[in-house]
Amino acid sequence: MTATLDKDTDTETQAGAIPSFEVTIKVRRFIPENSDEPYWEQHTLTMYGTDRVLDALHKIKWETDGTLTFRRSCAHGICGSDAIRINGRNRLACKTLLKDLNPDKGPIIVEPIKGLPVVKDLIVDMEPFFASYREIMPFLITSGNQPSKERIQSAEQRERFDDTTKCILCAACTSSCPVFWTDGQYFGPAAIVNAHRFIFDSRDEGATQRLEILNDKEGVWRCRTTFNCTEACPRGIEVTKAIQEVKRAMIRRAF
Amino acid sequence: MQFHQYDVVIVGAGGAGMRAALEASTEARTAVISKLYPTRSHTGAAQGGMCAALANVEEDNWEWHTFDTVKGGDYLVDQDAAEIMAKEAIDAVLDLERMGLPFNRTPEGKIDQRRFGGHTRNHGEAAVRRACYAADRTGHMILQTLYQNCVKQDVEFFNEFYVLDLIVDHDLSAGDVPAGEEVTATGVVAYDLATGEIHIFQTKAVVFATGGAGKIYKTTSNAHTLTGDGMALALRRGLPLEDMEFFQFHPTGLAGLGILLSEAARGEGGILRNGNGERFMERYAPTIKDLAPRDIVARSMANEVREGRGAGPNKDYVLLDLTHLEPAHIDAKLPDITEFARTYLGIEPYTEPVPVYPTAHYAMGGIPTTIDSEVLRNPSDVVKGLYAAGEVACVSVHGANRLGTNSLLDINVFGKRAGRAAAAYAKTATFTDLPDSAEQWVITQLEELRTRPEGERVSDIRREMQETMDANAQVFRTEESLTQALADIRTLQERYQRVSVQDKGKMFNTDLLEALELGFLLDIAEVTVIAALNRRESRGGHFREDYPDRDDSRYMHHTMVYRRPPGASVGGNITDEAFSHVSDFEDYKVVLGAKPVVQTRYEPMERKY
Amino acid sequence: MTANIDNPRAPYVRKKITRSNFEMWGWLFMRGSGVILVVLIFGHLFVNLMVGEGVNRIDFAFVGGKWASPFWQMWDLLMLWLAMIHGTNGVRTIINDYAEKHVTRAILKIGLYSAFILTVVLGTLVIFTFDPCPANAPADLLPSFC
C-alpha cells in the first residue's frame, strides 16, 4: 500500500496513526443581533490530513462555539451551499483540504463571499445572485409540438455545452468578480454560464432572446477577463471562456 | 407570526418536490417550502442514472424492469406500484429530456443507456443497458432541469423555511380515530430560518417530499441536512412509518468518508477486489458479479473485511479497481467520481485502485402511501389532502432493497403523480378551518429549546447515536447488537430532553436547527431499530446474522410502526402475530403492525444472481 | 444594540434595463481602434524619430512641413480622434467598474467628457488651421516652401 492510503482508515480506531496538525482558523464574524460591527475570531484546532475547511468549521461549531453560522449540506462539493472566501480565494469549504492551505504558515482566513449582503457570519443573501440567474431565462425554449419521443441531438452537439452544465450555482465565480463587487448590478459569470448552457444547446430556440438580455449595459460587455471566475469555479468550468463565447455569438448575431 | 393560504403546499424542494410543483402549479395555487435553496437538495448528488426501458441500445421492456425491481427488493415490493413505476419510467425520462435535460447520446442522437446493478434482460439472463445518464451527474442535471422549469413556470418558493408541524383535523397520535373515518390535512407550520418568525400555511393539500434520514448513521453518503424531518413529523402526529428497518448501504463509499462513488463505476467496467487482489464478487454472484444489487455487494464486501481479506494497513476496506479502463473513457463517463478520489483521498484512479467501504445511502421505508401518493394512516385508510413522494415515502417500490437508479425514477414518477393528485384534490376541496393557535405547540417547543440555559450538547448526542447505529444496526445485525442500539438510543432520547443550544438569537439560528434535526433523527433511529429487532429474518437490506434466511411464511408483510401515548389501546393495529410487538417507554409507546404486500405477477423465489 | 439590515429576501430588482448595442460597439471599437492605433502610433514614431536625422531634425519647420500635407493632416487627425475615443472609453469603463455611487460616477464622467471635448476640438482646430508661414518669423525657422 502507498503511504497515502494510510490516512484513509477509520478515524475512530486509527486516530493515533493519522498525521494530525495544529490549525489556526481566523473567521470573520458578524452577528447583527448583537452588534453592527463585524469582528475577527481565532480558533486553534487539532485536525487530520483528510480534514477539510468544513470539518474545521464544524469542529468549532460543535465543540466550541455553537453560534458560528454557515450554510452546508452535501459536504462533497455538489450542492453548492458552502462557497466562502478562504485566504482571499473563493472556495467550497467542503472541497478544500486544510493540509493544502499551508496551515503551518499562519492562520487560515475565512470570510463570507464578497459582493452579496452579509446576513450573519458566513451567510450571505443569495437573492440578487438568483435574480440574475432567473433573468437570463435558464430553461429550454422550443416552439411547436413536443416530439413524441426524445429530441435528437448528436454526441458532438451535446459536447458543445457540456462544460457549462456542471454549474452548481454556488456563486463562487460571481462573488469573485471585481466588476460584481462594485455595485452588484453586473449579471455575473454564473448567469452568463447558465445562459451559455442554453445558447449552445442545439435543441434550444431562445438564443436570440438570451443574447439580447446579456447585451445589456450590465451584461457580458462588462467582463474584463480577469479570470477570477475560472480560478474560483469548484467544478472546473472554464467560465471566462464561456463568457467570451457568448460575446462572440453576440457579434456574429450583429453582423 | 404570518399567515398564508395556498391550494397546495409542497414541503421539500428536491427532485420529488419540484416534480410535484411542476404539475401542481399549473392547476392550483402552489407554494414550495424548503429548508434549503432548491438546487442544494441531495437529489443533485445522485450520479449514475435513471432506468427506463427505452430500448435505445438493446432489446428491453418495462416488464423486465418490473421484474428486476421486484426481485431486487426481495419480493417485499408492492408489485402494482413497481409496474406503474417501470411503465411510467419511459415517459418520465422523455419528460425530462423535453424539459431540457442533457442526456448523453447514442451515435444516432438518441438517449444513451448503460448497465446498472440488478438491471437484467429477460428476468436475470445478463446485465442490460437501461440506465439513461448524463455523465456521472445525472441527479445534478435532474435537479437543475427541474429547478429551471420551476423558474419557467414561476413556481413560488419559500426558501430556507423549515416545516415543523403538520396540521390534521383529527388527533391521530392517540390512535383512537376509528378506521374509515375521514381525516383531512389542513396545513403546516413553518419556521423562517432567516428571521426566526413562524409562518402558518393553510392549505387544501400538503405534499411531503422531505427526503431521507441518512444522518442516523455516521458513515453515510447523505447530506448533513438529511435528517428525516418529514418522516419524524408524520410519526409524531400519529401517522405510521412503513418498512423502516430496511436501509440501503451503498457498496462504494470512499473508505472512512462515506462519500459516494457511483455504481456507474462498476457499470462502466470497474471491478471490486479484496486485499489479495481477488475479484471476490465472482464467488457471491457468479452471473452478474460486481453488478449484483447493492445489498448483496455491500454484504459481500463487509464479509470479505470481516474474514480478514480486506485491503489497507488495517484490512478494513476493499478496492474499486478502474486501472484497466482507458483514462479517456473514465474522463468521459466518470469525471466527477474520479475527482472525488483525487480530492479527498489523494488517489489517482487511472493508476491506483480506490479504497471503498459500504456507506449508509437510502431509506427504503418511509411514510406509507398508495400508488397515487396519498398518505395512509393505517393499512387501508388515506388522509385526505396529504401526499408524500420520494425517499420520505414508501409506496413501496423498493421493498427490502432499492435497485440503483430507481430512486431518481421514484421521485420523477411519484413526484409527478403526487403533484397531479394534490392539485386535482385541491380543486374539489375547500379550506378547512385551522384549530386555534395551531402554531402554539411549535412556538413553545422552539422557545424552550432556544432559551434553555445549559444542558447536553447537540453534537455529543448526535455523535453517539451515529456511532451506535454504525456499530449495531448496519450491514450485519443481531438481536444482541440491535438491543444494544435501542438501549443506547433510549438513553440518548432521555438526554435529548435536556439538550441546550449556545446560539440564543433568532436570525439564522443553525444551532437551534441542528437541535431540532437531532430530535427527528433520534425518533427515526429508534423506530428503525425497533422494526429491525422485530423482523427475525434476513431480507434485502436487512440482514440478521441470527436469522440468515428469508422467512416468507412469517414476514412477507410490510412493517408498520406507530407512536402512541403511554395509555393508548393498541388492539386496532395488531393484525398479524409476527408484527404484534409493542415497546413501552415512559413518554410514549411504539406499536408495530403489518401491511400486506401486493403481489400481481411474480411469486417469491429465491434471490440469486 | 441592533443593526439595521435589509430584509434578507427582499425582492431584488435590477436598477435599469438597457437593450441597445452601445456596449457591444464600444467593446468592438476598443479592439478595432487598438489595432489601428498601433499602426498609426508606431508609424508616427518611426517617421518622427528614426527616418533621416531622427529626433534632431524636429523643429517648427518640420511640423509645419508635415501639416502642409493632407496625408499627414489625416494621419494625425485619425490618431487624435481614435486615441481620444479609445482612452475616454477606457476611463469610462474604469469609472463604471470602480465608482460605487451614482453621484461619484456622474461627476467623474462629466470631467472626463469635458476633457475629451476640449482636447479633440482644440487638436482638430490646430491640425486644420495651422499656419506654417506666420508673418514676421525668422526665415531659418520656417519650412522651405514659405
Q: What angle do CA C126, C128, C134 make, to 5 degrees?
A: 70
Q: Above 70 in pLDDT, residue A14?
A: no
How close C90 gets to chain B, by Cα (Å)?
Answer: 37
Per-residue confidence band for C63, with pLDDT thresholds at 50, 70 and 90: confident
How close C106 gets to chain A, by Cα (Å)?
Answer: 15
pLDDT at C101: 86
pLDDT at B20: 97
Q: Give mean pLDDT, residues C89-107.
A: 91
**DSSP letter (8 states) at residue B315:** T
Q: Which chains touch B (3 or more CB pairs under 8 A)?
A: A, C
B562 φ, ψ to 5°? -125, 150
> Which residue range(s) make up the domain with C69?
22-133
Q: Give mean pLDDT, residues A24-44.
A: 95
> Could B507 and A119 be called an inter-chain contact, meaning their C-beta atoms sit closer than 8 Å?
yes
Q: Would you list the DSSP string of B274-291? A: -TTS--THHHH-TTTGGG
Given a contact cutoff of 8 angstroms between Cβ atoms, the answer to whether B304 and B276 are in contact is no
List all residues 6 or more positions away from B582 whose beta carbon is below 8 Å from its beta carbon: B570, B589, B590, B591, B592
Rounded distance, CA B158 to CA B562, Å? 31
> Domain ranges in chain A?
17-124, 127-141+158-254
- C-alpha cell at position C42: 508606431
Whether residue B159 lies within 8 A of chain C, CB to CB, comes out as yes
Q: What is the pTM of this model?
A: 0.93
- C-alpha cell at position B483: 438491543
Q: Which residues on adjacent β-strands are paired with residue B357?
A: B253
Q: Give mean pLDDT, residues A9-13.
A: 42
pLDDT at B89: 97
Per-residue confidence band for C17, with pLDDT thresholds at 50, 70 and 90: low
C83 within some domain: yes
Any idea which of B433-437, C55-59, C71-75, C76-80 has the lowest mean pLDDT? C55-59
pLDDT at C112: 97
Q: Which residues on adjacent β-strands are paired with residue B477?
A: B544
Catalytic, B294? Answer yes
pLDDT at B41: 96
Rounded distance, CA A141 to CA A202, Å? 11
C145 within some domain: no
Given a contact cutoff of 8 angstroms between Cβ atoms, the answer to whether A113 and A229 are in contact is no
pLDDT at A6: 40
Per-residue confidence band for A66, with pLDDT thresholds at 50, 70 and 90: very high
Q: Above 70 in pLDDT, residue C84?
A: yes
C36 within some domain: yes
pLDDT along chain B (609 residues), means of 10: 96 97 96 96 93 95 96 96 97 96 96 93 93 94 97 96 95 89 96 95 97 96 96 96 96 91 89 95 92 92 94 92 93 85 90 94 96 95 97 96 95 97 96 90 93 93 96 95 97 96 95 97 97 96 95 95 88 75 92 94 90
> Could A182 and C100 be called an inter-chain contact, meaning their C-beta atoms sit closer than 8 Å?
yes
Strands B382-388 and B557-564: unpaired
Q: Above 80 in pLDDT, residue C9?
A: no
pLDDT at C7: 54
pLDDT at A2: 36
- Report the CATH number that the domain containing residue C97 is assigned in CATH: 1.20.1300.10
For residue B159, list chain C residues with Cβ-Cβ distance below 8 A.
9
Mean pLDDT of chain A: 91
Cell numbers 413529523: residue: B233
For residue C9, list chain B residues with Cβ-Cβ distance below 8 A.
159, 194
Using DSSP, state whether B346 is helix, strand or coil. Answer: coil
Given a contact cutoff of 8 angstroms between Cβ atoms, the answer to whether A84 and A109 are in contact is no
pLDDT at A15: 39
C15 within some domain: no
What's the sign of the alpha-carbon dihedral A175, A176, A182, A185? negative
Tell me which of C27, C93, C94, C100 to substitute to probe the interface with A (most A C-beta atoms closer than 10 Å): C27
pLDDT at A1: 33
Tell me how many domains chain C contains.
1
> Could A73 and B225 be called an inter-chain contact, meaning their C-beta atoms sit closer than 8 Å?
yes
Per-residue confidence band for C80, with pLDDT thresholds at 50, 70 and 90: very high
How close B592 gets to chain A, by Cα (Å)?
Answer: 33
Rounded distance, CA B555 to CA B219, Å? 29
Class of domain A17-124: alpha beta
pLDDT at C146: 75
* Residue B505: closest C-alpha in chain C: C2
Residue B158, CB half-sphere, CA atoms under 13 Å: how many?
Answer: 27
Q: Above 50 in pLDDT, residue A31?
A: yes
Of B328, B302, B324, nearest in space to B315 by CA: B302
> Could C6 and A117 be called an inter-chain contact, meaning their C-beta atoms sit closer than 8 Å?
yes
Class of domain A127-141+158-254: mainly alpha
List all residues 6 or more positions away from B217 whose beta carbon is below 8 Å from its beta carbon: B247, B360, B466, B469, B470, B474
The percentage of chain A sitting over the pLDDT mark of 90, rounded to a whole number, equals 82
Q: Give mean pLDDT, residues C49-60.
A: 83
- C-alpha cell at position B566: 403511554
Q: Which residues on adjacent β-strands are paired with residue B544?
A: B477, B547
**Strands, E, within B488-606: which ranges?**
557-564, 582-584, 589-596
Helix (H) or strand (E) holding B8: strand B2-11
The percentage of chain C sitting over the pLDDT mark of 90, rounded to a whole number, equals 51
- C-alpha cell at position B82: 413497481
Q: Give mean pLDDT, residues C103-122.
A: 96
pLDDT at A3: 39
Whether residue C9 lies within 8 A of chain B, CB to CB, comes out as yes
What's the sign of the alpha-carbon dihedral B474, B525, B224, A107? negative
Q: Above 50 in pLDDT, residue A13?
A: no
Of B413, B381, B346, nearest in space to B94 by CA: B413
